[in-house]
Amino acid sequence: MGILGSKFQSPSQGLEDIAEGTSTNRKHGCECKKRKRNVPCDCESEQEEDDGLLDTPRRKKLKSTSRYIYQTLFLNGENSDIRICALGQEWNLHKVYLCQSGYFSSMFSGSWKESNMMEINLEIPDQNIDTEALQVVFGSLYRDDVLIKPSRVVSILAAACMLQLDGLIQQCGETMKENISTKTACGYYACASIYGLDSVMKKCLEWLLNNLMTHQNVELMKELSAEVMELLIQSSDLFVMQVEMDVYTALKKWMFLQLNTLWDGPIKQLLADADAWLCKRRTDLCEKEPFLDTEDGLPFRSVFKHVRLQYIINDLASARILERDNILPPDWLTSVYKSQWFAMLRTEFDNDNGPHEANKDEFERSSMRCGRKLTKDGDYCWRWTGFNFGFDLLVTYTNRFIVFKRNTLSQPCGGAVSLQPRRHLAYRLRLASFDSRGKLVCSRSTGYQLLTLEKDQEYVVMNLDSRLLSFPLYVCCNFLYTSPHSDQRPDSSEQESARHPDLC
């Protein structure tokens, strides 16, 4: 502060010296004026030096033109040539400024009766628009910048869309994208869908895909509509924690909250209460039919349809929970059991070693979704539960490397292990860490990859830069262990081979 203070003091001191010298010149006069013209005058040279100092620009804060216009014309309404009335309030405005709005520009430039009116009553059909939003939107026509509060952005966007103010609409969109959180994600998505902000909708969906499973929240689940939940559950970009069974469990909790809106409790109690509620319905109401076939369950069918059941029934405990809950129609499970049985037979007897070619559509539609949370830096090794067609995959995080290992002989395994010389695997691995609002702090992805592993072979999937790591770190993987096959009837040669297995 001392250095800054000395810099600021010098000009003022110089000005004081100049003022004092000028006063002396006026009081005593210039004695050199009595000399001849061709004799230099010291006073004149001093005066020139003084003029140079006076010509040096001095910074002075003036009221900006924009601020003056906003205060005088908008707030005070001086020289107004039109009055706008809406929602019980009046604004004394100016046509030349209102014409920045496409709405008013069309009104004033055409043959509409309003083009010559001094007072216009606006009909406001949109419930999202209030007087405070209109105040901000009208004021934006008189100033260079507008401060938009995240809590007010929906109302301001509605008013900006009505008045066709593209610049303000864009600013509202940017404000929404920067402030997506648990409290705003659903509201912003619904608002963006109404007013056609596709980029905001995409950003909200990305946030929900990242946070629905990683940071489960009761209030967020209450707000999620069936339409949005369906988009999330069917996506391979859903950041799943643990295994697919956890997706089903999350849906069960969400459905319970949709049907019991007054429920208020901690997230840890939610699953127990949802299970108790389902059990009570089955016993008290003697409901034998699956819940999704009941009147209350019908609105949720399309959402549950996107659960990848093939990765739930491959675990015994999970399969028993599906049977106990009696949420899903039996034919859903029957078709999945059949499909998985044939997939297992193909891997055992038809030499299906896994995907050989890139089939991204099948991968996005059918890949196994699983994940893990690493709370702090250290050494980790894990596998995801369930029978994966004899492919026991171990995942290791150590020394900032992520490694896949095909385990056949070196580590104990709870199920059968394939001993085929090579197995193929399609995968995508993503890493992410989030701030307190669920916004991505850092992220990495391998993209869609094909990998061939021999027995007990290891493969370094990702080498991480320690400068980019932030914990807790979330690991999400997508896997496809078998080749895509359509359920077709066997041709005649296959039927003949089935009847006579010894034929060549």
Q: What is the pLDDT of residues 88-123, one digit of tens each?
A: 999 999 999 999 999 999 888 877 666 678 899 999
Check: CB of residue 326 under 8 Å from CB of residue 291: yes
Flag whether 292 is in a domain. yes
Q: Is the pLDDT of residue 259 over 90?
A: yes
Identify whether residues 297 and 380 lie together within a single domain: no
* Last residue within a domain, chosen from 350, 378, 407: 350
Parent domain of 232: 212-350
Q: Give the pLDDT band (50/70/90) at residue 351.
A: confident
Same domain for 389 and 279:
no
Model confidence pLDDT, tens digit, residues 10-21:
333 343 343 333
Cβ atoms < 10 Å from Cβ of 45: 10
User: Over 60: is that where the pLDDT of 149 sits?
Assistant: yes
The total domain count for the chain is 3
Residue 497 lies in a domain: no
pLDDT of residue 55: 52
Mean pLDDT of the chain: 86
CATH number of the domain encompassing residue 160: 3.30.710.10
Q: Would 2 be classed as within a structural domain?
A: no
Average pLDDT over residues 242-264: 97
- What is the pTM assigned to this prediction? 0.83
473 token code pair:
């770190």
Say if residue 146 is in the same domain as residue 258.
no
Give residue 82's pLDDT. Answer: 95
Nearest in space to 75 (alpha carbons), one of 7, 166, 141, 10: 141
Q: Are 158 and 128 in contact (CB under 8 A)?
A: yes
Kindly state whether residues 345 and 238 are assigned to the same domain: yes
Note whether 384 and 345 are same-domain residues: no
Say whether both 287 and 404 belong to one domain. no
Q: Can you read off the two tokens belonging to residue 30? A: 């210039």
Residue 346 sits in the same domain as residue 451: no
| Residue that wins the pLDDT comparison between 154 and 359 | 154
Q: Are residues 313 and 395 in the same domain?
A: no
Do 346 and 441 fall within a single domain?
no
In a domain, 41, yes or no: no
**475 in the same domain as 412:** yes
Query: Are residues 337 and 230 both part of a single domain?
Result: yes
Q: What CATH number corresponds to the domain at position 389?
A: 2.60.210
What is the CA angle 243-385-454, rounded to 5?
A: 110
Pair (240, 344) in one structural domain: yes
Are 267 and 217 a contacting pair, CB within 8 Å?
Answer: yes
- pLDDT score of 174 more than 50: yes
Of 412, 414, 393, the C-alpha closest to 404 is 393
Residue 24, in any domain of the structure: no
Candidates 159, 171, 263, 186; CA nearest to 218 is 263
CA atoms of 191 and 197, how far apart (whole Å): 8
